[in-house]
Structure 1
């Protein structure tokens, strides 16, 4: 009789062949996070939000040529943050890692960004040097969570105004069943609330106007309370799912798709016109066990949901000028 358990560190790095590194700039704050697969990983992606910021996602279509990627970069800084992927490419090239093409090797590094420009000087954002530094910092250790890397400037619950919002962050989790591990890393910068699916309780999100407690965005919207005029694309939850199961490219794509079920369980509303929600999926194949997609799909959604919860549970409140954003731990 099999059972699902959290792997030893409960993080995406429990998946053999996966490393994670953060780069954080506390001046704003902002940052980027790299998920390394030095030996290459079969990859897929699913972009659900209507306002995405991405790089190299078309090549992950199952019908396209490239089978494996060598890293995925998640970054703050909105579209500017995509530059961090160039730094990750440079680091991988220095290690001799990449797709053999003619006389050289080209590292394949898809990326996705979130909007964290509400906090501080918008000229401070991840660049190529930041992506390189995140690679240098990468390890098999369980990654730090909360206000680090791509989660450094993340905010949740902005539907009724930034002054009623709360601090988001980055979190990780893993699930192991029958010798196969699935892990997830999620940077949560959602427009909506983050909800514990086990209880239905709102953990972080829009607060009441007096700041004393949580509003519950779903109930407020259904009661007819109008959202504030919002900045387009100023949100987005991005993340990576990884497994040591043996996947085809089509199966990796499907795993990214079903991973969004985990976002829908924990974020309300999710996948809005003002979010760019994007999930990548990586298969290292290190377990040697062929994918059983029904089980992997269940595990992926579970890992994403757990990682999203961890992102806000590990976050800490920030104050910049007149703007104070408490975290779930403060309430």
Structure 2
């Protein structure tokens, strides 16, 4: 496991809620007041809320929460629970008539595990109320509860994945990441010779390879819209929306290093960036570190996951 967690960036809080019988959950990331947000959506089957607002040419730059949820498009409802609770706490963008919390969200597909139910407003609110500046959760929790990887040959040869976190510090600059890995591809560790962590199993239950499966010309399962890796890079750097977008774009390099293949039409890969604007740092450096912590968080998601819903995990192999 690589060290660090998203809350290593001062002022950030993270909370989770899940229903293990349903096989799904929610993770809420709360930045300090005045945090700048950015997002870059790369996969072909995304589900999201308030992502257009973060485009550099649009007006609002401050984000009050990022919600990562299971449940496919149904899970977007959980962000409404977060929004309502933040409003009840008096937080949000002042419009003259009401404070409107800016809550951005991305969802992943986990409806095939557990009961066919999904996160709702109550689960989103619960995750927010559990938010802590000391969160170190990884594995089968929050948005990682129903995550799986290596699904090209169907769920019977997939493996359990989950939620991962990691961070890096360079002087006063801190860059961290939290990610829920639900990819069609495999997790590999680029810092250990591309060593397989979790992914497609071979016909006899041994560690396999999605790339080898595809290169051998085998026919894959119908996975359209049923996979996604969603995450958030956090930093104490000063960034405007254009800088936050660049960090997201560079951060996707971390997905490409640790997930093989990635950004397919089957995936909805979405990456947020939240900057608390406390430390001067060159955006390229933040992006480079962001890609590094993301690839480490992805590996941690695979290594920390526990066997569940009939799926083997890294530890069970």
For the aligned pair, the TM-score class normalised by the smaller chain equals over 0.9
> Within the alignment, does 1:78 sit opposite 2:64 as a pair?
no
2:130 equivalent in structure 1: 137
Runs of 4 or more off by more than 4 Å in structure 1? none
Q: 2:176 aligns with which of 169, 177, 183?
A: 183
Q: Is 1:37 the equivalent of 2:31?
A: yes
Aligned residue pair count: 315
For the 8 Å contact 1:38–1:97, the answer to whether it is kept is no
Alignment correspondent of 2:58: 64
Structure-to-structure mapping, 1:305-316, within 5 angstroms: 305-316=295-306
- Structure 1, residues 123-178: CA drift from partner, whole Å, max 9, x if none? x2101111100000000013311000000000100011110000010010001112
Normalised TM-score (structure 1): 0.93
| Alignment partners' CA distance in 1, 2:196 and 2:179 | 18
- Which shows bigger deviation, 290-299 or 238-247? 290-299
Matched, 1:197 2:190: yes
* CA positional deviation for 1:38: 4.1
Task: Indicate the SS of the match to 2:64.
Answer: strand
Alignment match, 1:329: 315
What residue number does 2:247 align with? 255
TM-score, normalised with respect to structure 2: 0.97
Report the CA distance between 1:291 and its aligned residue: 2.8
Number of the residue aligned with 1:99: 93
Name the CA distance, whole Å, in 2 between partners of 1:60 and 1:294: 19
Pairwise CA distance, 1:225: 3.4
Alignment of 1:1-331 (within 5 A): 10-122=4-116, 124-198=117-191, 199-211=193-205, 213-222=206-215, 224-286=216-278, 289-319=279-309, 324-331=310-317
The C-alpha deviation readout for 1:261-304, integer Å capped at 9, x for no partner, is 00000000000000000000000113xx2231221111000010
CA distance in 1, matches of 2:64, 2:181: 23
Please give the secondary structure, in 2, of the residue aligned with 1:231.
coil
The farther-off stretch of 142-151 and 162-171 is 142-151
For 2:135 and 2:28, locate their aligned partners in 1 and report how far apart those are by CA, in whole Å.
13
- SS in structure 2 at match of 1:40: coil
- Does the CA-based 8 Å contact 1:38-1:71 persist in structure 2? no
| Structure 1 unaligned spans of 5+ | 1-5
> Counterparts of 2:231 and 2:109 in 1: how far apart (Å)?
14
Contact residue 247 and residue 284 of structure 2 kept, 8 A = no
* Partner secondary structure for residue 68 of structure 1: coil
Q: Is the 8 A contact 1:21 1:143 kept in 2?
A: no
Instruction: Please state whether the residue corresponding to 1:32 is helix, strand or coil.
Output: strand
How far apart, CA to CA, are the structure 2 residues paired with 1:79 and 1:87?
A: 15
1:128, 1:72 → 2: CA distance? 14
